[in-house]
Amino acid sequence: MLAEIMAGGLWVLTGLAVVAPFVLFILLAMAFRIVVSTNDVHIVQSAKKTVSYGKDELGGGVYYKWPSWVPVVGVRTITLPKSVFDVSLDSYAAYDKGRVPFVIDIIAFFRITDSNMAAQRVFSFEELKDQLANILRGAIRTILASSEIEDILEGRSKFGEMFTKEVDEQLKQWGVQTVKCIELMDIRDASGSQVIANIMAKKQSLIEKESRVAVAENKRAAQTAEIEAQRAVLVSQQDATQQVGLRTAEQEREVGIAKEQALQAIKDQGKVTAEKDMLIKQVTVVRAASIEKEAQVVKAQQTKETTVLIAEGSLQQQKLDAEAVLAQGTSKAEAEKLMQLAPVQAQIVLAKEIGANEGYQAYLVNLRKVEAAESVGIEQAKALEKADVKIISTVGSPPEGLSNVMDLFSAKGGMQIGAALEAISNTPAGKAITEKLGIGVNGHAQQ
């Protein structure tokens, strides 16, 4: 049992011995794993090569920072910023061309362009800043030592550009470049020196003098301007008065001349008006005479033309009357001729038509008989009306009876009446009637 336990423990120890190095390696890896910040670049120097790590770098943004004493994988690193950084020189003692001491404050802004080259020049970023400050100092001494203090005081921006140009040439070997012009912040006297103060006092006094001169000049110019203005005003007033007088005299003269010219013009116009009136009268008289003459001529011409027109009209009327009479007589004779020829012509045409048409001949004969019977009937009716005779017809129709009554006025009628009376008297009633009428037996009236 003990042997089994010891064997199991041995297996556990063996397993731990195998796993422990891996676990230790993982823990060490996690402890030395470095993630580079966005604004930094880490230059990692190994036994064989130098690699830059950071944003947009070839090595990436992550690496393992093994201690340099570790064989094979040990590395040394330098951290440099990718962002802009500044290097300033405060109270830096300098000299001008005349060895006048003064103190200046300068600030410069840089950016690393080649991190590998910068890492080859320095061990740390602080050392890089110190080296850049030394470069600035050398450039400043070189430039300021060849210039006068007055020029330096007056041309700060110019000297800043000169400093930048001088430094850029040297920074190419450090993998660094300036971002903007180096700024000359301040210039002042060194301890125990009054040069800049004296220059400033001189400048101030010069400014004061120029100011007082300018003020005096301005006052003089103002007074002169006031005097000139007053003189101009007085001259203007005098000129105005003179102009007013001249203008008044000129106006009065022009008014007098205008009045005289107006009077003369009135007289001239009166003369012209009188002449025109005379001409108008002359023209009126002449025109009236001419009009009268023309009127007389027109009147005589009208009388002449009227007489001629009347004569011509009378002659024309006579001709027309004669032609009318002739035409009327001709028309009347022609009409009478036609009237006389019309019955003859009609009878000739009618005779021709009757001779050729037997039916029409019979029609005319019957028509004439009817017209004759009509005339006889009318006359008989008139006679009966005067005779006061009453007739009783016993025939079949009134026309037949009327036709028989008309026989009364003929011999045949008389005979028939007598025979009738005789026949009536042969009867008692008829005899009484005839006796009452005073008619005899033989039909003769009784005396």
Q: For the segment 286-310, what is each residue's pLDDT rounded down to a tens digit?
A: 888 888 888 888 888 888 888 888 8
Output the CA torsion sign for 394, 396, 399, 403: negative
Tell me: domain 84-193, CATH 3.30.479.30, correct? yes
DSSP-derived letter for residue 406 is: G
Q: Which of 75, 80, 74 is nearest to 57 (CA)?
A: 80
> What are 120-129's pLDDT values in tens digits?
888 888 888 8
Residues of the chain scoring pLDDT < 70 = 1-32, 47, 58-59, 66, 194, 344, 346, 350, 353-355, 360, 380-381, 383-417, 419, 421, 437, 439-447
Q: What is the pLDDT of residue 109?
A: 92
Q: What is the pLDDT of residue 443?
A: 44
CA torsion, points 92, 93, 98, 100, in degrees to nearest 10? 120
Q: Which of 97, 168, 175 is nearest to 136 (CA)?
A: 168
Tokens encoding 170: 């040297």
Q: What is the pLDDT of residue 1?
A: 57
Q: What values do phi and psi take at 64, rounded to 5?
A: -110, 120
Q: What is the pLDDT of residue 403?
A: 55
